[in-house]
């Protein structure tokens, strides 16, 4: 009898202890409508600034196996320079694009309303270029409703948006003052866009894309079809168990182009710092990033 009681006590203790095991943290997937610019670009942490420099190897016959040698060749002035600045909420506040000759090609600033939504951006090119700007409008539910782009004082492009019950864009109508096109968006159960259809002015499907995600909500596969049938582009993203970008493969099947981007040298937030771009098996560029945090 005492042995039976002892066995039951041990069994009860095991069940209690087993029930107290720490369960794994739930996976939280952020819907597209709630993502900031950092999240949309798979960048982690409270980023303040990203400086990127690209070095091209047009005349060098290099492969990814020559990456160490190629990295040594980046000890020179870069061919293209970008500087992206972010506000504390993870949205772009400005960016600068400097060309190979050292001249500023684009300088753009973003402005936000009191709800943290983008209200306007302004862009300046060369010294003699007029300012280009985009102006956004929202409906009574504070969902995006319109966007108008002006070059100087002239309206050159406008968008009209339709949204669902939580603010996801389900339809975008683009008017460039010559013809009108429509793009439709479909979302999965996590609020991530999984299908895009671009329509010609006559309403026929010009191009469509299907997007697949992993269990963490990171985009894995993107297939682009011409007229909704012929596969013309394919993109595959590979991630580590820590969520790091490891590799991106892009194929343009119409032009027989295959580009592979390899990522290396990650910082403490798991953001990559070096990107090797291989086009049709030839190493064509290296991009180096310097990231500052709040």
Rounded mean pLDDT, 15-40 = 80
Q: Is the pLDDT of residue 5 over 90?
A: no
Pick the CATH number of 38-293 from 3.40.50, 2.40.160, 1.10.760, 2.40.50: 2.40.160
Query: In the structure, what pLDDT confidence band is assigned to residue 138 with cuts at 50, 70 and 90?
Result: very high
Q: Give 169-219 pLDDT, tens digit per residue.
A: 999 999 999 999 999 999 999 999 999 999 999 999 999 999 999 999 999
| pLDDT in the model for residue 10 | 59
Q: Is the pLDDT of residue 100 over 90?
A: no
Token match 């107290």: residue?
20
Q: Which two tokens stand for residue 232?
A: 């013309």
Extended beta strands in the chain, E state:
47-56, 80-86, 92-98, 104-112, 118-124, 132-138, 144-151, 154-163, 169-175, 180-187, 193-199, 205-213, 219-226, 230-239, 245-252, 257-266, 272-279, 282-293
Query: In the structure, what pLDDT confidence band is assigned to residue 260 with cuts at 50, 70 and 90?
Result: very high
Q: Give 45-74 pLDDT, tens digit per residue.
A: 999 999 999 999 987 789 999 999 999 999
CA distance 111 to 119: 6
Percent of the chain residues topping a pLDDT of 90:
80
**Better-scored residue on pLDDT, 27 or 187:** 187
Q: Give 118-129 pLDDT, tens digit per residue.
A: 999 999 887 778
What are the structural domain ranges in the chain? 38-293
| pLDDT in the model for residue 294 | 97
| pLDDT in the model for residue 128 | 77
| pLDDT in the model for residue 21 | 60
Greatest Cα-to-Cα distance within the chain, rounded to the nearest angstrom: 98
Rounded mean pLDDT, 222-239 = 94
Residue whose C-alpha is closest to residue 259's, from 64, 51, 68, 97: 64
Q: What is residue 19's three-state secondary structure?
A: helix
Straight-line distance from the first to the last Cα atom of the chain, in angstroms, rounded to the nearest whole number = 66
Neighbours of 245 (CB within 10 A): 20
**Better-scored residue on pLDDT, 166 or 12:** 166
Rounded mean pLDDT, 252-280 = 96
């Amino acid at each position: 009898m005492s042995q039976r009681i002892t066995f039951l006590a041990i069994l009860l203790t095991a069940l209690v202890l087993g029930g107290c095991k720490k369960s794994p943290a739930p996976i939280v997937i952020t819907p597209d409508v709630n993502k900031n610019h950092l999240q949309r670009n798979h960048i982690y942490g409270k980023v303040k600034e990203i400086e990127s420099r690209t070095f091209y190897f047009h005349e060098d016959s290099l492969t990814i196996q020559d990456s160490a040698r190629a990295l040594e060749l980046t000890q020179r002035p870069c061919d293209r320079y970008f500087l992206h600045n972010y506000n504390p909420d993870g949205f772009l506040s400005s960016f600068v694009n400097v060309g190979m000759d050292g001249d500023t090609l684009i300088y753009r600033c973003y402005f936000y309303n009191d709800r943290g939504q983008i209200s306007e951006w302004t862009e300046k090119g060369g010294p003699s270029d007029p300012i280009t700007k985009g102006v956004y409008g929202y409906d009574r539910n504070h969902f995006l409703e319109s966007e108008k782009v002006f070059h100087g004082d002239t309206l050159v492009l406008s968008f009209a948006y339709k949204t669902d019950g939580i603010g996801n864009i389900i339809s975008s109508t683009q008017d460039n003052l010559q013809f009108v096109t429509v793009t439709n968006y479909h979302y999965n159960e996590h609020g991530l866009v999984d299908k895009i259809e671009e329509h010609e002015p006559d309403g026929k499907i010009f191009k469509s894309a299907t997007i697949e995600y992993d269990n963490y909500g990171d985009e894995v596969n993107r297939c682009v079809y011409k007229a909704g049938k012929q596969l013309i582009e394919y993109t595959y993203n590979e991630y580590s168990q820590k969520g790091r970008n490891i590799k991106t493969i892009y194929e343009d099947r119409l032009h027989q182009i295959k580009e592979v981007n390899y990522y290396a040298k990650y910082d403490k937030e798991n953001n990559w710092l070096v990107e090797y771009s291989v086009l049709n098996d030839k190493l064509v560029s290296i991009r180096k990033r310097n990231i500052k945090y709040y």
